[in-house]
């Protein structure tokens, strides 16, 4: 039952990921990216990681992608205003990306497949994630919280209007 | 095969519920507004105007659905369906009566806040694809509004999650068997409830926060270019959203289908149990819907800067402090 669902989801995620790069309008790219995130959330659900599924949708599809859409819609990008790179730059970009893809493929090919029965252990459930986060990864968790606070202070500082000089 | 049949029945029930809720809620809105303004409201079609929305729906069905020139045709036609699908997904974890729930997922409330954050995507799509400045402005406003009010809605949901110690909706309802949280949780739960109601009113784009479709400045906001059934889908999604957020409010603060119980008064509790659980659920939900409609016909519309100030400078700090208070209450066991 789950195998055909997995294949359909996997095909959809690959297709959406490709369309992000291929789509001509930036807004379409962002929408394909949202669809791609949804299919990945579907994979999480199939691994019985329901907490990750919800958080993935809230953070990526709900918040970050909406900001992307905002920026792109406000900038009003279109084909005419898009900067055209020279031929050398394009060739260089394609070849480096292709090389990176080759390296990744080689790394994945030699990896040992690990088959884990996620349905029994409850790995992805809230309790498990919370225990891991607050026991083993306490320090990184706190430090990243501090990082977010810094980012927030920075955003407020940048966003505030300069005080009028008397 | 049995599983497939189950899916089909559940789907048909959802669609039926959508249609009935749409008809009932629109009529209710018009009757409530008429009552508040000392008018009669719809009173021509059917007994006391009960069939008015049916007639309106027929009119919308038979109208031509225009697509403006210069619009992004595919996205323009996709947006109403995205809005509908987003709302439909939200029905899955809602228990309409005792043991009457489609999907008892163990992260119920997180699932709801995840899926309800998708409403903004359909609105942004509709606004952008229409290729109209009013639509785009309305969509942008709506986006800013939904993204910011989601925070305090989420924090007030977390308040109840902290008290219950579970994200599952059936656990949250079970924890209210000896009294609803609004009675058990003292002042912090009251604060959470008030922020929740304000936040969801803003999230569903309703007056006094309906800046996304402020007709005096933006024509009709993001759905200016929509007509016929495509407009009706947006309209329906909006009303179903109101039902769903009120159902969530009823589940979190008023115990969902749980009857009104007082501590260990056996006799009183027994009598309350005779009222069917679905009546309790729909009664509470429709009471909250009435409250939200009451807002609409009482308060004047806010300005966009007032709206954002209210969230970021008042509601968000209050609900953050409130989560700390609730945690204190939960740890020290001050609730009943």
- As a whole-number percent, the residues of chain B with pLDDT over 90 amount to 6
pLDDT at A146: 93
Where exactly are the structural domains of chain B?
1-62, 68-332
What is the 8-class DSSP label of residue B178?
A: T
Helices (H) and strands (E) in chain A, counts: 8, 0
CA dihedral B190, B196, B201, B204 (to 10 degrees): -160
The minimal CB distance from A70 to the residues B105, B106, B140 is found for B140
CA dist list (Å): A2 to A46, A117, B34 = 8, 13, 53
User: What value does the mean pLDDT take over residues B14-31?
Assistant: 88
pLDDT tens digits for B53-62? 888 888 888 8
pLDDT tens digits for B259-313? 887 767 778 778 878 888 888 889 999 999 999 988 888 888 888 888 888 888 8
The number of C-alpha atoms within 13 Å of B233 and in the hemisphere containing its C-beta is 24
pLDDT at A117: 67
Would you call B198 an interface residue with chain A, using a CB distance cutoff of 8 Å?
no
Structure token digits, residue A158? 């940048």
The alpha carbon of residue B110 is apart from the nearest alpha carbon of chain A, in Å, by 6
Would you call A54 an interface residue with chain B, using a CB distance cutoff of 8 Å?
yes
Which residues of chain A carry a pLDDT beneath 50? none
Question: What is the phi/psi pair of residue B226, to 5°?
Answer: -90, 145
Respond yes or no on whether ipTM tops 0.85. Answer: no
Question: What is the phi/psi pair of residue B93, to 5°?
Answer: -90, 10
Q: Which residues of B touch A58 (CB under 8 A)?
A: 110, 113-114, 117
Confidence band, pLDDT 50/70/90 cuts, at residue B321: very high
The answer for B 89-118 residues in CB contact with A (under 8 A) is 105-107, 110-111, 113-115, 117-118
Question: What is the phi/psi pair of residue B97, to 5°?
Answer: -160, 180
pLDDT tens digits for B208-251? 877 767 667 777 777 777 877 888 888 888 888 899 999 999 98
Lowest mean per-residue pLDDT among A42-56, B142-156, B188-202, B260-274: B260-274
Structure token digits, residue B261? 């119980």
Q: Which residues of B touch A31 (CB under 8 A)?
A: 75, 125
Highest-pLDDT range among A143-152, B2-11, B63-72, B143-152: A143-152
- Cβ(A54)–Cβ(A62) under 8 Å? no
Element spanning B141, H or E: helix B133-164
The alpha carbon of residue B192 is apart from the nearest alpha carbon of chain A, in Å, by 21
CA dist list (Å): A63 to A66, A74, A131, B195 = 5, 17, 26, 21
Mean pLDDT of chain B: 84
Q: Which residues of B touch A61 (CB under 8 A)?
A: 117-118, 121
Burial class of A63 by CB neighbour count within 10 A (0 to 12, 13 to 18, 19+): middle
Euclidean distance between CA atoms B253 and B179, whole angstroms: 10
Euclidean distance between CA atoms B232 and B27, whole angstroms: 14
The minimal CB distance from A54 to the residues B114, B124, B136 is found for B114
pLDDT at A100: 94
Burial class of B50 by CB neighbour count within 10 A (0 to 12, 13 to 18, 19+): middle
Interface contact flag, B110 A54, Cβ < 8 Å = yes
pLDDT tens digits for B75-92? 888 888 888 888 888 888
Question: Which of A40, A54, A75 is the best mutation test for B, with the most CBs of B within 10 A?
Answer: A54
The alpha carbon of residue A94 is apart from the nearest alpha carbon of chain B, in Å, by 30
């Amino acid at each position: 039952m789950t195998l055909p669902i997995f294949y359909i989801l996997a095909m959809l995620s690959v297709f959406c990921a490709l369309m992000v790069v291929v789509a001509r309008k930036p807004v379409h790219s962002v929408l394909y990216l949202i669809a791609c995130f949804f299919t990945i959330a579907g994979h999480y659900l199939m691994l019985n990681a329901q907490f990750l599924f919800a958080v993935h949708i809230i953070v990526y599809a709900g918040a970050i992608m909406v900001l992307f859409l905002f920026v792109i819609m406000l900038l009003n990008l279109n084909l005419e205003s898009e900067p055209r790179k020279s031929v050398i730059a394009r060739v260089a970009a394609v070849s480096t990306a292709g090389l990176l893809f080759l390296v990744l493929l080689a790394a994945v090919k030699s990896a040992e497949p690990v088959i884990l029965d996620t349905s029994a252990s409850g790995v992805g459930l809230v309790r498990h994630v919370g225990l891991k986060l607050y026991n083993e990864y306490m320090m990184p968790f706190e430090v990243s919280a501090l990082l977010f606070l810094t980012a927030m202070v920075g955003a407020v500082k940048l966003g505030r209007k300069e005080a009028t000089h008397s | 095969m049995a599983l497939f049949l189950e899916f089909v029945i559940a789907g048909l029930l959802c669609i039926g519920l959508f249609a009935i809720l749409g008809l009932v809620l629109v009529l209710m809105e018009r009757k409530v507004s008429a009552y508040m303004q000392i008018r009669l409201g719809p009173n021509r079609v059917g007994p006391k105007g009960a069939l008015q929305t049916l007639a309106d729906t027929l009119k919308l069905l038979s109208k031509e659905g225009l697509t403006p020139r210069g619009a992004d045709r595919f996205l323009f036609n996709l947006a109403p369906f995205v809005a509908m699908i987003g709302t439909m997904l939200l029905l899955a974890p809602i228990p309409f009566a005792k043991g009457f729930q489609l999907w008892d997922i163990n992260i119920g409330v997180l699932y709801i806040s995840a899926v309800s954050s998708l409403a903004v995507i359909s609105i942004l799509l509709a606004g952008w694809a229409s290729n109209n400045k009013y639509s785009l402005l309305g969509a942008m406003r709506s986006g800013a509004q939904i993204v910011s009010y989601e925070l305090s809605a989420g924090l007030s949901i977390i308040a109840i999650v902290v008290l219950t110690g579970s994200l599952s909706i059936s656990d949250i309802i079970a924890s209210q068997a000896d009294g609803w949280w609004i009675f058990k949780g003292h002042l912090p739960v009251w604060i959470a409830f008030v922020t929740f109601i304000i936040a969801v009113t803003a999230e569903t784009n309703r007056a006094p926060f309906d800046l996304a479709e402020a007709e005096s400045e933006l024509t009709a906001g993001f759905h200016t270019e929509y007509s016929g059934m495509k407009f009706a889908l947006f309209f329906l999604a909006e009303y179903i959203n109101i039902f769903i957020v009120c159902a969530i409010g009823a589940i979190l603060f008023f115990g969902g289908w749980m009857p009104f119980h007082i501590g260990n008064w056996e006799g009183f509790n027994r009598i309350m149990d005779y009222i069917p659980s679905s009546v309790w659920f729909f009664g509470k939900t429709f009471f909250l819907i009435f409250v939200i409609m009451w807002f609409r016909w009482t308060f004047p519309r806010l300005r966009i800067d007032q709206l954002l100030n209210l969230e970021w400078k008042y509601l968000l700090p209050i609900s953050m402090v409130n989560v700390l208070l609730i945690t204190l209450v939960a740890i020290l066991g001050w609730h009943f």
